[in-house]
Chains A and B, each alone.
Chain A
Amino acid sequence: MPDLQAAVDDFVIKLKRRQVEGSLATAKSTVLLLRQVVSHQRIPSSGPASSLIDAVKSVGSRLIAANPMELAVGNMVRRVLHIIREEEATIVAAQVGVTPVSDSDDDADVHGVPGLSAVALAAANRTALRAPSLHNLLESLPTSAGANVEPVPESDTKSRCKSSDKNSKSWKLKHGVIDAIGLLLGEIENYHSEISEQALEHIHQKQVILTLGRSRSLLHFFREAKKKRSFQVFVAEGAPRYQGHKFAKELAAMELQTTVITDSAVFALISRVNMVIVGAHAVMANGGIVAPVGMHMVALAARRHAVPFVVLTGLHKLCPLYPHNPSVVLNELKSPSQVLDFGEMSDCLDGTDGSPVHVVNPMFDYVPPELISLFITDSGGHNPSYVYRLVAEIYSPEDH
């Protein structure tokens, strides 16, 4: 346990100091840490899922508070919570199906509706897990609509076979969750290759592609497409961090014809471009994206000239929150030294010659879903209006 505490504290400090860079690395570290939390957690025989959920939630809220801007942390915490709830439901359903007689009395306490057949019980469990739908409205009891089904903590005077039954259930749950988290980890690690596999479908011969700043997934994407297609890339430099310069170097090393342009030149050159492909920092539940500053401008230019605006993203960047939600802090302000050298303007910056000049250096931009043509994710290409479906599949509504 002390090891675990130290690991959590360590990670929280890293997040606070912004030492973990990029949503991929953050997502991976978060998932590894949560797997540790799950395996170290001692599971009581009654209510195994809720103890796991509480443990994950307490660690998760610390992590999210450490860096609220890094949405991938919150996403991964919610994914793990969803995994726990799903595993619980599958185990309960399997148990009910196998031993309807021995479980019927304590399950009857749980559901409070005795005399229902086992099939109906399992169906109720499965539907309780899915997001509430029109049918569930009438199906579930109003007081516990969609709530997690937990066995009432019984006294210890249970028959031995029942208690060992429960122990195996919690053992199964824990290992099921750890396996599923392993799958999640694999999914995160493979997302670059999944996305690049789709590159040939989207990039055609002799196309001109525009992008802004630098994106690792885009690098892999272009590398894959380069094998069979010849195309050229315009890279907007992405002031004030100028990540575009670094990206242009990487592309040139791949022997791709690259042109660097300033952000202000995007509108002037957009009519010569066939397609805009960019990466995103996070995807919101309504299909909008949070992207490096300047992206909204590029999106508007693309819409104005009917150029498709394609976004590469992994499912770990998909956030179940909406951009108007005040708890989602959508922007971080970086040091103004990136914009203005301290020496040049220091006299007007502190107000000695009249009123001071303020310098604001936001890190991110929000692009609304109407400006985005396509999302390319590790599960294929999707319309922005389809994002709600992906959110419903990988997250539980109780965890938002």
Chain B
Amino acid sequence: MGMEEEEQVIGDFNRWRQRPELAEAVAAIKALTAVIQRSQASTMMGLEIELKNASEMLKAWDRSSISLSAGCDLFMRYVTRTSALEYEDINAGKSRLIERGERFGDISLKARETIALLGQDFVQDGCCILVHGSSRVVLALLKLAANNGKNFTVIVTEGGPKKTGMEVSKKLSAAGIPVTVIVDSAVAYTMDRVDMVLVGADGVVESGGIINVIGTFQVALIAHSMKRPFYVAAESFKFARLYPLDQQDLSISTGQEESSNPARDYTPPHYLTLLFTDLGVLTPSAVSDELIQLYL
């Protein structure tokens, strides 16, 4: 594949990423769909090879994004599986893949709705929820719960040093939910009056643990020691084929530079209570089952 092809793929990806409601994995899949459309291959194998190259390029473009590589892997796996089915005509196969790829954007939004529907059951009247990090899924969940007439309060961590928590608190106030912002170091102090913790995830790994913005592990440790349930809301296309054993493993696999200012951390499955996904409410042990089902 030439330089211009590479530019086109990455250009497509960045264009899709501009849309705020679209998750990264979805943007990647849309870019790969465009590759299929442009492809001149005459066999499914040839198409697969082109897609594989494009997927490698995308992954190389942003090594640190877990959901990007998870999305690429998912689509590649789907393509290999589909070509195993009987498609006598390559054009029929191509059109089916293109159709699926284009629908994936809808699936992503629908996934968010499903998760919001499942998760809002767990929000009870009068409860206090601690939120860490900025996740569109978590926002959708809380907004739905508020729209269904539940009265609850939210405590948002400031999320330094980028102070992402302020954005989140603005969006929650706009939805009519009472919000308090606390500094990250005050989590243990406030955990007493918190009923549950809710976070999103950048990626969900094979062990059932999650990779999320820095500070999530800390909050999980505190929640666990004070016996508060720790819930994660993540779409299923974030399930990645990674198995970090500690925080250092994480930086090696994602190419994060060894720095004193890491952007992400890994929370082991032991500290998670439940994961809300579009495949249903899962215990951390169920995650590896789902991954095996897909990749075997």
Kindly state whether residue B280 has any CB partner on chain A within 8 Å.
Answer: yes
Interface residues of B in 198-233 (CB under 8 A from A): 229
Of B124, B239, B280, which is within 8 A of A132 by CB?
Answer: B280
Of A134, A139, A286, A322, which is within 8 A of B293 by CB?
Answer: A134
- For the complex formed, measure the closest distance between the CB of B165 and the CB atoms of chain A, giving whole angstroms: 26
Within 8 Å CB of A326, what residues of B?
A: 121, 124
B86 engages A119 (CB within 8 Å): yes
Of B100, B274, B279, which is within 8 A of A133 by CB?
Answer: B279
Kindly state whether residue B171 has any CB partner on chain A within 8 Å.
Answer: no
- For the complex formed, measure the closest distance between the CB of B98 and the CB atoms of chain A, giving whole angstroms: 12
B285 engages A385 (CB within 8 Å): yes
* A137-B237, A142-B103, A325-B121 as given contacts; A131 in contact with B81, CB under 8 Å: no
Within 8 Å CB of A388, what residues of B?
A: 282-283, 285-286
* A131-B280, A134-B237, A142-B103 as given contacts; A386 in contact with B293, CB under 8 Å: no
B86 engages A389 (CB within 8 Å): no
Task: Name the residue of chain B whose CB is nearest to the CB of A142.
Answer: B106
B283 engages A120 (CB within 8 Å): no
Within 8 Å CB of A142, what residues of B?
A: 103, 106-107, 110
- For the complex formed, measure the closest distance between the CB of A68 and the CB atoms of chain B, giving whole angstroms: 16
* A138-B104, A385-B285, A388-B285 as given contacts; A119 in contact with B294, CB under 8 Å: no
- For the complex formed, measure the closest distance between the CB of A207 and the CB atoms of chain B, giving whole angstroms: 30
Within 8 Å CB of A385, what residues of B?
A: 283-285
- For the complex formed, measure the closest distance between the CB of A121 and the CB atoms of chain B, giving whole angstroms: 11
Kindly state whether residue A292 has any CB partner on chain B within 8 Å.
Answer: no
Kindly state whether residue B291 has any CB partner on chain A within 8 Å.
Answer: yes
- For the complex formed, measure the closest distance between the CB of A204 and the CB atoms of chain B, giving whole angstroms: 29
Within 8 Å CB of B107, what residues of A?
A: 137-138, 142, 145
Within 8 Å CB of B294, what residues of A?
A: 133-135
Beyond the given pairs A322-B274, A326-B124, 8 more chain A to chain B contacts, judged by CB atoms under 8 angstroms and listed by A's residue number, are: A119-B86, A131-B280, A133-B279, A133-B290, A137-B237, A286-B283, A324-B122, A388-B283
Bound: A386/B111 CA distance, A = 25
Kindly state whether residue A99 has any CB partner on chain B within 8 Å.
Answer: no
Within 8 Å CB of B77, what residues of A?
A: 135
- For the complex formed, measure the closest distance between the CB of B186 and the CB atoms of chain A, giving whole angstroms: 26
Question: Can you sample 10 A-B contacts with CB below 8 Å?
Answer: A119-B85, A134-B290, A134-B294, A137-B237, A139-B78, A285-B281, A324-B124, A325-B122, A385-B285, A387-B283
For chain B, the bracket of interface size reads 35 or more
A93-122 Cβ-contact flags toward B at 8 Å (1 or 0) = 000000000000000000000010101100
Kindly state whether residue A287 has any CB partner on chain B within 8 Å.
Answer: yes
A135 engages B78 (CB within 8 Å): yes
List chain A positions with a Cβ less than 8 A from chain B: 115, 117, 119-120, 123, 131-135, 137-139, 141-142, 145, 285-287, 322, 324-326, 385-389, 397
Within 8 Å CB of A132, what residues of B?
A: 278-280
Within 8 Å CB of A387, what residues of B?
A: 283
Within 8 Å CB of B85, what residues of A?
A: 117, 119-120, 123
List chain B positions with a Cβ less than 8 A from chain A: 74-75, 77-78, 81, 85-86, 92, 100, 103-104, 106-107, 110-111, 121-122, 124, 229, 236-237, 239, 273-274, 278-286, 289-291, 293-294
Residue among A123, A131, A132, A141 with the highest chain B CB neighbour number at 10 A:
A132
* A117-B86, A142-B103, A326-B124 as given contacts; A134 in contact with B92, CB under 8 Å: no
A134 engages B279 (CB within 8 Å): yes
- For the complex formed, measure the closest distance between the CB of B251 and the CB atoms of chain A, giving whole angstroms: 26
Within 8 Å CB of B289, what residues of A?
A: 389
Task: Name the residue of chain B whose CB is nearest to the CB of A135.
Answer: B294
Bound: A138/B92 CA distance, A = 16
A397 engages B280 (CB within 8 Å): yes
Query: 9 smallest A-B Cβ distances: which pairs?
Result: A134-B294, A385-B285, A142-B106, A388-B286, A138-B78, A324-B122, A133-B293, A117-B86, A138-B100
Bound: A389/B290 CA distance, A = 11
Bound: A34/B96 CA distance, A = 42
- For the complex formed, measure the closest distance between the CB of B240 and the CB atoms of chain A, giving whole angstroms: 11
Bound: A14/B269 CA distance, A = 45
Within 8 Å CB of B111, what residues of A?
A: 137
Within 8 Å CB of B279, what residues of A?
A: 131-134
- For the complex formed, measure the closest distance between the CB of B111 and the CB atoms of chain A, giving whole angstroms: 8
Within 8 Å CB of B229, what residues of A?
A: 324
Task: Name the residue of chain B whose CB is nearest to the CB of A118.
Answer: B86
Residue among B77, B237, B239, B280 with the highest chain A CB neighbour number at 10 A:
B280
Bound: A388/B275 CA distance, A = 12
A134 engages B280 (CB within 8 Å): no
Within 8 Å CB of B121, what residues of A?
A: 322, 324-326
Bound: A389/B92 CA distance, A = 37
Bound: A141/B294 CA distance, A = 18
A115 engages B92 (CB within 8 Å): yes
Within 8 Å CB of B81, what residues of A?
A: 135
